Amino acid sequence: MSDLLADAKAELYQGDPDEFMPRRAELVAQAREAGESAAAKQIGALRKPTRSAWVVNRLVRADPEVTVRLAALAAELREAGGSGPSMDGGRIRELGAARARLVDELTRQALDGLPAPPAAVREEVTATFDAALADPEVAASLGTLVRAAQYAGFGLPIPGDAPAPPPPAAKTKKPAPAEPSAERERRHREKIISAERAVAEADRTANAANAAEQQLADTVRRLEAELAQARQQLAEARRQAYRAESQQRRAVETLSRLRPPSQAAKPAG
């Protein structure tokens, strides 16, 4: 993995999801300017995480000890899973309590600082940590999760559970004729072309949305600057009007003092 891609993942998956799309566009542009077209393409393909996935990513990247603790308990669960029926009930209860404590603690840490997180987010964060204890692939993806994970097993999430015995072999059937290799290659190329078109269309849509967002942001900044300038001008105009009124009053008072009493009492007209 290139440094640009690794840095982009670290920033995007730890940062606020609301800033993901515009920041990703900036990082893609920076990679292209640096001549790293492959990294730019990979960065552009990074997917925006859900709120619950971001919560987990943020904690894992801020505290590397989280993955260490998960890996340690997962190893204990895996070892216990290898014991099979010989594992006693006391050990089962002990591991279940340890799992519940760790998942609950990590969930609280992940949600700390978020104002009143929805119950759905809390449940998804808890489920993700549960899944990380059971599934090595989920554990390896912590820090770059796109969506919350779920553990589909039963009982204790013990990695390495022995697989169920295979079903009885079905009757042997005559294999279907193999598809010609040329035809397989043609279909494979068509799928690649279709996928590339879909990626290109998604890139165009994302770029257009990012450009529109940037344009509106520029317009808002310009209007805010004009409003701030207009407020300054209004304040200055008010100060000038106040000074002019003060000068007028002083001039009238001075004139009144200078006029003879007879002129001051003489009616107008």
Asked if 9 and 25 sit in the same domain, the reply is yes
Output DSSP code: residue 150. -
Let me know if residue 168 belongs to a domain.
Answer: no
> Residue 40 — pLDDT band, cuts 50, 70, 90?
very high
Of 160, 176, 203, at which residue does a domain stop?
Answer: 160
Q: Count Cβ atoms within 10 A of the Cβ of residue 137 and give its class: 0-12 exposed, 13-18 middle, 19 or more buried.
A: exposed
Instruction: Work out the average pLDDT over 248-257.
Output: 87
Place of tokens 């009930």: 89
Asked if 141 and 241 sit in the same domain, the reply is no
Let me know if residue 266 belongs to a domain.
Answer: no
pLDDT at residue 1, as a whole number: 61
**Structural domain tally of the chain?**
3
Range(s) of the domain holding residue 33: 1-48
Let me know if residue 180 belongs to a domain.
Answer: no
Contact assessment for residue 102 and residue 70, using Cβ atoms and an 8 Å cutoff: yes
At 117-148, the pLDDT tens digits run 899 999 999 999 999 999 999 999 999 999 99
Sign of CA dihedral 121, 126, 129, 130: negative
Q: What are phi and psi of 105, to 5 degrees?
A: -65, -45
Segment among 10-14, 183-187, 254-258 with least mean pLDDT: 183-187
Instruction: Work out the average pLDDT over 213-239.
Output: 73
Asked if 66 and 94 sit in the same domain, the reply is yes
Instruction: Work out the average pLDDT over 54-69.
Output: 94
d(CA 249, CA 255): 10
> Residue 215 — pLDDT band, cuts 50, 70, 90?
low
The answer, yes or no, to whether residue 70 has pLDDT greater than 80, is yes
